[in-house]
Amino acid sequence: MFYLYLSRLFKFMYTGFLFFHSITRWLLLLSLVYSVFIAFKGYFSNAKFSNHDNSVRHWTATISHIQLILGVILYIKSPIIKFFYSNYAEAKTNEEISFFAEVHVLLMLISVVLITVGSAKAKRKATDKEKFKTMLIWFTSALLIILVAIPWPFSPLAARPYLRHP
């Protein structure tokens, strides 16, 4: 009886993390698009790097780190990943399983590293123009990678709904 209770609890927790990971995806995408927009606008208009711009830079990196933590928890607990490592030869031939076990996790990790490095570099630049340029380059690179690595409903590799819910 206790095992059944724990099993249901872990299933509920997994679907909860999946739901929050799905919501945080949208927060991160909005934050990144906004960051790229203000970096582009600031760079080409020679604007001053304001406290607002700095907050957007900081919060974009923070949201990406929250998303990474949720993703790591899901990766560890995912039945898809467990199947992949338990049945490697068979799972490797399945594009959807391989996508989540290898491609998605690697590309998302790279994008979080790009956001983190870009944020740290922008923070330390001497001029406002350099700050905007650094944000623009690093955050745009991360955004493009994320757009490729998300399992969109129309993706041929692994289609998932726009919002996962419990």
* Cβ(91)–Cβ(52) below 8 Å: no
CA neighbor of 22 nearest in space, from 146, 155, 164: 164
**Mean pLDDT, the chain cut into blocks of 10 residues (166 residues total):** 64 84 96 98 97 98 97 91 91 90 96 98 97 98 97 87 75
* Cβ(40)–Cβ(56) below 8 Å: no
CA dist., res. 71 & res. 55, Å (int)? 24
Other beta carbons within 10 Å of 103: 16
The residue behind tokens 């990196």 is: 61
b/e code 126-155 from CB counts within 10 Å (16+ = b): eebbebbbbbbbbbbbbbebbeebbbeeee
> In the prediction, which pLDDT does 14 show?
82
Phi, psi of 133, rounded to the nearest 5 degrees: -65, -45
> In the prediction, which pLDDT does 32 show?
98
CA dist., res. 70 & res. 23, Å (int)? 11
Give residues with Cβ within 8 angstroms of 102, minimum separation 6: none
Question: DSSP string covering 113-155, please?
Answer: HHHHHHHHHHHH-SSHHHHHHHHHHHHHHHHHHHHHHS--TT-
Cα torsion at 112, 117, 118, 120 (round to 10°)?
A: 120
> In the prediction, which pLDDT does 162 show?
82
